[in-house]
Structure 1
């Protein structure tokens, strides 16, 4: 009996010791460290920092020039550090770097921490790539138009605008001067002067002309706003305008945004415009049908018709409504493509959001026009000058956008259009419409017509 009791006692003690050991082992599993913002950033380096992890004996630091750490600096490939910071040296000025850490004991290594981005001060001294955009695009297996939004006043021969346009771009869109309130002065009365100058410039210089836009709620001429006839007579006026404009530019304008921004930002409803109010929910399809009929009647059977809108990558309710409209237009055989404006920021939309949006159009067999691309870097008005960090972030975002577009099937590519030439002439800085109170630098050229890192990013996106 004593022997049995002693055996049981030994078993209990062994069990308790085993549980205690398991508990200790569990308690000593390394947590993942948290990396912090860098300190003492200068031309040649910075101090990387991270939080303490219980039971860790040291930390393994990686420093890279790529966010996915495919290229790790030789001296900082799992560099073992016993402190909670490390001064990283020997770097290049004005360059984007990334760092992450892992905790380590004799037997364990934790998961990777969060990734921290840092841009060294100064300049990297590497000049921007001077290659002309359309030259590189035209060498692709499946090229597309490289476009820019323009004003007629920029089209004087020999000006910097003119030289850059002819060297770099293969397509133009009028920023404002081909909209309804600029052309239509009264029922059946038109001022073609400015729009004709834009179209003639494109045709003379073998540059594609994209018409923007036949119907937009923010470009309704006053006479049509005040129109006192019946709704049917109102619709007849819109039909007449679309017919006359498409006919006037038949064979000269290769594509049109027929309707611009017909979907509201809230809830995925139709935008409550004068066209919806007076023409009903089928007005978009009616406008496309009138444009198609006019082109055919004028012998322009190759005219491409687009629907154009913004913020569909992040606003899913709006995206769904837009694609419902596109499906209706596709069924009616009156649409060729869709314009995604892409007034983006250096933070948003994400790559996945953009790809999802564009791939829905691919699935419908539509041509895709990234129609109004610019990338804000100061949407929160938190910087007063164009910093190296934002410069490189913008470059990366342009590269990402071009890479996404270039990966589309050949049949779905049409054009990628930048919304303006120079930062200081963009619509974004100090925009009350955008609630953008401060300055910004959203384009490919600075105020002195010099190419920026964003231009280099565009080129790199074609690789």
Structure 2
């Protein structure tokens, strides 16, 4: 029997016998983990997502349901072919692994791990301590502090210990704050107080010393009270010497509502010296989804990819599922759906093309662009621009611009120009190639959003600095022709 110190008190802890799976899998998983992240050779333009991601040392992952892996060969084929990282959708959660106290069931988690290892996928273990999907014996256990701490420790010891050396990242504590940044009530917080997070991190570090330890939550993709709470908590944990390696931004998004400060938010967490990942990405649409909504969804996926790829500390993006028909969204948000990269018939959507291009691949449209080696000049026509400031702080702001093609024909390439009269300077942007000369700002289409149908729109955005004065631009020109401003 040995004593392990947790937050100023000591609790007895039994010595584990190393499981055969842990011993056998550690060396293999270490090799596979390194292989997945090492930059690979050039990928063909039409290669799967994982090939382009590996070329950049990047992770493109998916949440995988074990029942779909076992019973749907098309799903399993897409999971293996397209993704170099995997998250257990439900099979590692408490209700699945320890439905009765001390009685563990690893059948689903083992099957998931076997699939991931067979396909050289980096594994995110999800999740050890969470207020939801708990068996009733935990949620309604009426434990004393010491007993609940022992329950938590035994659970982490068994689950994380079983897969020690095989899991790259553990989502140790999940969804611990409310939207206003206050602590979420749960059996863990209500019984143990906020120290349960530090305790869980320390316990996991001992159970699986080689894994990275992460926190994970939704609605923290932008800068707000909830993400501020995580920012402050991580600083507190670091000051206490508590092991913390990363923060997962879930990014369950509504179509057209990617936070304008997503990249800035990723950067501030990375500046703390931890890693960041988009861990549960989907973009839900009001059903039935129109073609314009699917194009907007593609723009949103591209914006998220670009924001992560732009920050050195952002290591990967994981989509929460693969095909629309298995998504959790329709059962949770009435009238909404189609949030993923593949439709119900397993066919890639515009969102898939956007992710593919963000990673350096081609899109289906590229095959139709042969015009004898020349390029047609961008057509001009009526246009409308909507400009707004989404967020502003002492020395900077986030701007959002919507450009609508009011002409009778599609735009096949565009340049938008406007002037800042207050000395503002663009620092970075998304959904366009941004440049500035003096006061004149130019936003040009990227490879994936140059085509704007008649009546269609494109949303672009930027971050900029200012010195106290931030007047809005008074006029805009698209391909040299003045636009109306709404």
| TM-score (structure 2 length as normaliser) | 0.62
Q: Per the alignment, in what secondary structure is the counterpart of residue 348 of structure 2?
A: coil
Deviations 1:41-83 (A, max 9, x none): xxxxxxxxxxxxxxxxxxxxxxxxxxxxxxxxxxxxxxxxxxx
Q: Give the match for residue 356 of structure 2.
A: 459
Match of 1:292 among 160, 181, 205: 205
Structure-2 separation of matches of 1:425 and 1:461: 25
Distance 1:182-1:271 versus aligned 2 partners, 3 A rule: same
Q: Give the match for residue 66 of structure 2.
A: 152
8 Å contact 2:283–2:297 — kept in the other structure?
yes
Please state how far the C-alpha of 1:226 moved relative to its aligned partner: 3.2
Q: Give the match for residue 47 of structure 2.
A: 131
Q: Give the match for residue 445 of structure 1.
A: 342
Q: Per the alignment, in what secondary structure is the counterpart of residue 232 of structure 1?
A: helix
8 Å contact 1:400–1:461 — kept in the other structure?
no
Q: Give the match for residue 235 of structure 1.
A: 149
Structure-1 separation of matches of 2:352 and 2:290: 16
Please state how far the C-alpha of 1:365 moved relative to its aligned partner: 1.2
Q: Give the match for residue 164 of structure 1.
A: 78
8 Å contact 2:163–2:208 — kept in the other structure?
no
The answer to whether 1:194 aligns with 2:108 is yes
Please state how far the C-alpha of 1:248 moved relative to its aligned partner: 0.6
Distance 1:204-1:314 versus aligned 2 partners, 3 A rule: closer
Match runs of 1:37-436 below 5 Å = 131-140=47-56, 143-156=57-70, 159-265=73-179, 267-296=180-209, 302-314=210-222, 316-331=224-239, 332-350=241-259, 352-378=260-286, 384-409=287-312, 412-431=313-332, 436=333
Please state how far the C-alpha of 1:258 moved relative to its aligned partner: 0.1
Find runs of 4+ consecutive structure 1 residues off by over 3 angstroms: none
Structure-1 separation of matches of 2:72 and 2:138: 39
Report the number of matched residues: 315
Distance 1:398-1:307 versus aligned 2 partners, 3 A rule: same
Structure having the larger proportion of residues in strand: 2
8 Å contact 1:392–1:453 — kept in the other structure?
yes
Structure 1: 5+ residue stretches without partners: 1-128, 297-301, 379-383
Structure-2 separation of matches of 1:130 and 1:139: 14
Structure-2 separation of matches of 1:344 and 1:222: 30
8 Å contact 2:221–2:250 — kept in the other structure?
no
Please state how far the C-alpha of 1:194 moved relative to its aligned partner: 0.8
Structure-1 separation of matches of 2:128 and 2:150: 15
Deviations 1:209-230 (A, max 9, x none): 1100001101221112232442
| TM-score (structure 1 length as normaliser) | 0.65
Structure-2 separation of matches of 1:214 and 1:450: 34
Please state how far the C-alpha of 1:154 moved relative to its aligned partner: 2.1
Please state how far the C-alpha of 1:385 moved relative to its aligned partner: 2.2
Please state how far the C-alpha of 1:443 moved relative to its aligned partner: 0.4
Structure-1 separation of matches of 2:336 and 2:253: 16
Structure-1 separation of matches of 2:225 and 2:72: 47
8 Å contact 2:123–2:169 — kept in the other structure?
yes
8 Å contact 2:213–2:246 — kept in the other structure?
yes
Q: Per the alignment, in what secondary structure is the counterpart of residue 184 of structure 2?
A: coil
RMSD: 1.7
Distance 1:315-1:404 versus aligned 2 partners, 3 A rule: closer
Structure-2 separation of matches of 1:374 and 1:303: 26
Structure-1 separation of matches of 2:223 and 2:299: 23
